[in-house]
Amino acid sequence: MNTTASPFPSAVQRRNARAAKRDAVLRTAVQTFNERGFHQTSLDDVAARLRISKPTIYHYLGNKDQVLLECVTIGLTQLLEAAEESRSVPGTGADRLMSFLVRYAEINMDDFGRCVIRTADEALAPESRAQFRARKRQIDLAMRALIESAIADGSLAPHDPKMLAFTLAGALNWPARWHEADGTQSPQEIARHLVAILAQGFLPR
């Protein structure tokens, strides 16, 4: 807490304030993109929600493409961190994979994760698109690696890692499309439920 609420902010406070404003722009932008879609959202819309003007957005973030790139990068970074964290989960390879999958699904129901899923590659300018794709490939590879080591220790059935990764990703990305924040089930519950279904398969055991 800031006990000395002086009207003359220090250099550090000013840097923080700037970062906070930048974040606020991104949060508002991503929420608006998720609600109305990127192409249906003008930067004037985003600015209006924040009660600022469009040039102010340009002051904090380059152009509209940059705004979107930042948003998806935040989501992708969260996913990548989840992959790293799950590597140190105790138990079998399958335990580690499932812990990652649950987290993966949860993030995809969050603001920035939602944006990652809902953003089509073509919406970004060529250079940003390349970055976007590269990051997504990284996450795909991380998932495959978890799958491979779980197969190696026998805790997973021997599947084609690539195909399994696509299947899992698809199922766990989809809530980004249908899950509404006000649903009866929490993202956690949904995430666990989906992963359980994928683990067991729909045929009786």
* Interface residue list for DNA (CB under 7 A): 7-9, 11, 14, 17-18, 21, 40-44, 47, 51-56, 58-59, 63-65
Instruction: Indicate the helix (H) or strand (E) that contains 47.
Output: helix 43-49
Binding mask 12-51 for a copy of itself (x = CB under 8 A): ------------------------xx-xx-----------
Q: Are residues 172 and 116 in contact, defined by beta-carbon separation less than 8 angstroms?
A: no
Residue 91 burial (CB count, 10 A): 10
Q: Can residue 125 be called a binding residue for a copy of itself (CB under 8 A)?
A: no
Question: Minimum distance from CB of 5 to DNA (Å)?
Answer: 14
Task: Point out which span in 44-52, 62-70, 76-84, 118-126 binds a copy of itself (CB under 8 A).
Answer: 118-126
Q: Which of 21, 121, 46, 41 is nearest to 76 (CA)?
A: 121
| Dihedral Cα 149, 118, 43, 48, nearest 10 deg | -100
AA letter at 75: G
> Would you say 19 or 120 has its CB closer to a copy of itself?
120
> Would you say 10 or 167 has its CB closer to DNA?
10
Binding mask 139-178 for a copy of itself (x = CB under 8 A): --------x------xxxx-xx--xx-xxxxxxxxxx--x
Question: Minimum distance from CB of 74 to DNA (Å)?
Answer: 19
Contacts by residues 87-96 (CB-CB < 8 Å, ≥ 24 positions apart):
87/146, 92/150, 92/153, 92/155, 93/146, 93/149, 93/150, 93/151, 93/152, 93/153, 93/155, 93/156, 94/150, 94/155, 94/156, 94/199, 95/155, 96/146, 96/149, 96/150
**Residue 202: which of DNA, a copy of itself, none does it interact with, CB under 5 to 8 A by kind?**
a copy of itself
Residues that bind a copy of itself in the complex, under the rule CB under 8 A? 36-37, 39-40, 94, 97, 118, 120, 122-123, 147, 154-157, 159-160, 163-164, 166-175, 178, 190, 193-194, 197-205
